[in-house]
Amino acid sequence: MKILLLGGKGMLGSECRKVLGGDEEIVAPDKKELDITSWDKVIDRLQHIRPDVILNCAAFTRVNTCEEHKMTFLCRKINVEGPRNLAQGSARFGSKIVHVSSDYVFGGDKAFPQPYFEDDPLDPLSEYGRAKMESEMAVRENASDYMIIRTGWLYGMKGRNFVNSLVADVVSKKKNKKIKAPEDHFGSPTWSYRLALQIRELIKADAKGTVHATAEGYCSLYEAARFVLDELKLKVPIEPCALKEYHKKAKRPSNCILENRALKKNATNMMRNWQEDLSEFLERSGEDLLKQAKDSAKR
């Protein structure tokens, strides 16, 4: 099977590249080689590559930046126009498109700990969330064979995520600067490597439609941060705070818990408990994370 992977240098994309690259032929142009916002380039590359599957892990993921007046245009261009180009191209050349979406398409006001299901109404609170919602619409309206995978709270070695940001904060901690994490923001920390394994399984099964794929179980971001500090044996005080105080620019849904209902229904759920995965990730990569944080603190 030939897979065209977009965003292959990002956090999730780099894991997909490794995981899928074992069995499949992967073509993974970077942004310079194929900018998904260019219709002409997308069509030209699809014509040459003729992939069986287009896996779109490319996105503009800086949620706060998306709120800035001047950046909203770019956010929509990459997060809506890009997937629309890929979806239209997939229909033209008979490829399947697998598109990654986000928990931020929901409003987050479901009473905790009720999870969101695949068919719950969408009600995004931020520019990023609105763009991801519209990306889903663009894929559904334009592709003839698609799968949309909603995930959330991703972490891994690459990209900016709550685990490496926390470690960077601890390492570069200035005297008297308190480390805080919100106790009213709930979700499931999801290992990008585990999600890549799940995506591989879904592609092999030729799955269709919209699925949720996050780690099993849930916690507050404060609990997740405490877990990381304990596992890495970093004896640093951390204070619980309110989500509103933690993220002032872009609103986040308070409840980001997604139920992997479609995966369970079709017996393809490979997602594991969040503590189990986070613990394994930190065991494998904890030292590298600390080194990375120390190196960047020196610069």
Ligand X SMILES: NC(=O)c1ccc[n+]([C@@H]2O[C@H](COP(=O)([O-])OP(=O)(O)OC[C@H]3O[C@@H](n4cnc5c(N)ncnc54)[C@H](OP(=O)(O)O)[C@@H]3O)[C@@H](O)[C@H]2O)c1
Residues that bind ligand X (CB under 6 A): 6-7, 9-13, 31, 35-37, 57-61, 78, 82, 100, 102-103, 132, 151-154, 159, 161
CB of 128 to ligand X, least distance (A): 8
Q: Residue 9 and residue 155: Cα distance in Å, rounded?
A: 14
CB of 274 to ligand X, least distance (A): 13
CB of 239 to ligand X, least distance (A): 23
Q: Is 36 left (phi over 0), alpha (psi -120 to 50) or beta?
A: alpha
Q: Which is nearer to ligand X, 103 or 134 (CB)?
A: 103
Residue nearest to ligand X according to CB distances in the complex: 10
CB of 296 to ligand X, least distance (A): 17
Q: Residue 29 and residue 4: Cα distance in Å, rounded?
A: 8
Residue type, 38: S
Q: Residue 99 and residue 210: Cα distance in Å, rounded?
A: 9
Q: Which is nearer to ligand X, 151 or 269 (CB)?
A: 151
Q: Which is nearer to ligand X, 21 or 159 (CB)?
A: 159
Q: Which is nearer to ligand X, 29 or 236 (CB)?
A: 29
Q: Which is nearer to ligand X, 13 or 51 (CB)?
A: 13
CB of 27 to ligand X, least distance (A): 13
